[in-house]
Amino acid sequence: MRLKSVLSAFAFGLILGAGLILSGMADPDRVKAFLDVAGAWNPSLALVMCGAIAVAAPAFYLAKRRGSTMQGCGISPAGSAVVDGKLLLGAAIFGLGWGLSGLCPGPGLVLLGYGARGALVFAAAMVIGTRLAGFFAPPEGT
């Protein structure tokens, strides 16, 4: 059971990474072109979110109704539903970093697999940033 869930987590990480590469989300140029509404706007990445949500939404609905996974264990509960200052400030800071680099966490890790030096610097800084946030504002559980 445990080995199976480790293998499936690896497989889903691999599929998600392939999706990020294929979709263009791992290309900082494409991401910036998507974010650059005032310039030569390339809206293609909007389809990434549409495709992903269209496939994921039924799974979330199903999981909510079943209440357990295919292996019979519980599903990790949804986090808090409150919109607070931490959420707004955190999202704003994340957007700043995403806009500066064209990289969000998934693509940062995927590009690390290419052995790119820039991705190594980005990923290492990301882990440090995560630790700093935990230091200043410990998360209230996931």
Partner 1 sequence: MSIVIEPAVLEEALAGGVLIGLAAAGLLLVNGRIAGISGILAGATGPQPKIWQWAFVLGLVAAGAAAAPLGRALPPALGQEPLPLLAVAGLLVGFGTRLGNGCTSGHGVCGIARLNPRSLVATCVFMLTAGLTVFVTRHLLGHG
Subset of residues 53 to 82 that bind partner 1, contact rule: CB under 8 A: 53-64, 68-71, 73-76, 78-82
Cβ atoms within 10 Å of 79's Cβ, excluding its own:
11
Interface positions, 85-124, toward partner 1 (CB under 8 A): 86-106, 108-119, 121-124
- Answer yes or no whether residue 18 interacts with partner 1 by CB under 8 A: yes
Give the three-state DSSP class for 29.
Answer: helix
Shortest separation between residue 120's beta carbon and partner 1, angstroms = 9
Shortest separation between residue 1's beta carbon and partner 1, angstroms = 11
- Mask of contacts with partner 1, 28-47, x by CB under 8 A? xxx-xx-xxxxxxxxxxx-x
The DSSP bridge partners found for residue 68 are: 74
Q: What are phi and psi of 39, to 5 degrees?
A: -105, -135
Shortest separation between residue 77's beta carbon and partner 1, angstroms = 10
How far is Cα 31 from Cα 45, in angstroms, rounded to an integer? Answer: 7
Within 13 Å of residue 141, how many CA atoms lie on the same side as its CB? 5
Interface with partner 1: number of residues (CB under 8 A): 123
Shortest separation between residue 85's beta carbon and partner 1, angstroms = 10
- Answer yes or no whether residue 1 interacts with partner 1 by CB under 8 A: no
CB 123 within 8 A of CB 116: no
